[in-house]
Chains A and B, each alone.
Chain A
Amino acid sequence: GAVVSQHPSWVICKSGTSVKIECRSLDFQATTMFWYRQFPKQSLMLMATSNEGSKATYEQGVEKDKFLINHASLTLSTLTVTSAHPEDSSFYICSARIGQGVQPQHFGDGTRLSIL
């Protein structure tokens, strides 16, 4: 149980393109979803936290107009990287949490984004 599906797993596109990444909780309803970015040999860095039906909360230094997050339902959140540039190339991972309190975060398998 508690499976999080992330799509696509790999994206290669030209500079200036916008890319949408989907994160779905397959067998549970996620009250909160999180978006992380991970550079090689670095730790996961939280980008934003999203709750269904409300605006995402972005971490300091993350441009909300650059990284658009939509959490339209309890099972789907999307991250759109707008006008992507080579420096946006990274491994993007979503996670979902059930309920409140100290609960496990269930991670997707990530999306490797390469901007040429």
Chain B
Amino acid sequence: KNQVEQSPQSLIILEGKNCTLQCNYTVSPFSNLRWYKQDTGRGPVSLTIMTFSENTKSNGRYTATLDADTKQSSLHITASQLSDSASYICVAGAGSYQLTFGKGTKLSVIP
């Protein structure tokens, strides 16, 4: 069964600090790993997409890493801002568009 586990479930950090979110996945055949940001009551917005051969991808202050051998990914947020408060969802892709979503990590950035 395809699964995506994220940790921590929730996280509170001070504005300006860095943080790292973790994702473990079991998906077969593994194709790609995505990170999305979802604001409360809104649809997810794509942050990064990595194919199985990529190790890292950046999008501004967001940097995602992928270790396909250990089936782990992380999302690092640098110099956090209040607007970064949201749920961050890890998504593992099998084939061309079969996606398995994690439950997300709820990040709260406080002043």
Please tell me if B41 contacts chain A, counting CB pairs below 8 Å.
Answer: yes
Judged by a CB distance under 8 angstroms, whether A109 is at the interface is yes
**Closest Cβ of chain B: how far from A47's Cβ, in Å?**
13
* Residues on A with beta carbons closer than 8 Å to the beta carbon of B36: 107
Instruction: Please judge, given known A-B contacts A95-B43, A110-B43, A112-B41, whether A44 and B101 are in contact too, CB under 8 Å.
Output: yes
Q: Which residue of B lies closest to A100 (CB)?
A: B96
Q: Is the CB of A43 within 8 A of B45?
A: no
B interface residues, tally (CB under 8 Å): 22
Question: When each residue 4-48 of chain B gets 1 if its CB lies under 8 Å from chain A and 0 otherwise, what string results?
Answer: 100000000000000000000000000110101000011111100
Q: Which chain A residues lie closer than 8 Å to B103 at the CB level?
A: 41-43
Check A97 against B97 for contact (C-beta < 8 Å).
yes
A43 and B43 contact, CB distance less than 8 A: no
By beta carbon, the residue of chain B nearest A106 is B46
A82 within 8 A of B: no
Complex CA gap A103/B45 in Å reads 13
- Residue ranges of B at the interface with A (Cβ–Cβ < 8 Å): 4, 31-32, 34, 36, 41-46, 49, 51, 89, 93, 96-97, 99, 101-104
How many residues on the A side are at the interface (Cβ–Cβ under 8 A)? 27
Residues of chain A within 8 A (CB-CB) of B43 are: 4, 6, 93, 95, 107-110
A2 nearest CB across to chain B (Å): 9
Bound together, the chains give a CA A45 to CA B43 distance in angstroms of 13
Known: A93-B43, A107-B44. 20 other contacts (CB 8 A): A6-B43, A32-B97, A41-B103, A43-B89, A43-B103, A43-B104, A44-B89, A44-B101, A45-B101, A46-B99, A91-B41, A101-B96, A102-B31, A103-B97, A105-B46, A105-B97, A106-B46, A108-B43, A109-B42, A110-B42
A16 in contact (CB, < 8 A)? no
Give, as a whole number of angstroms, the nearest-CB distance from B83 to chain A: 17
Expressed in whole angstroms, the minimum distance between the Cβ of B92 and any Cβ of chain A is 11
Residues of chain A within 8 A of B34, CB atoms compared: 104
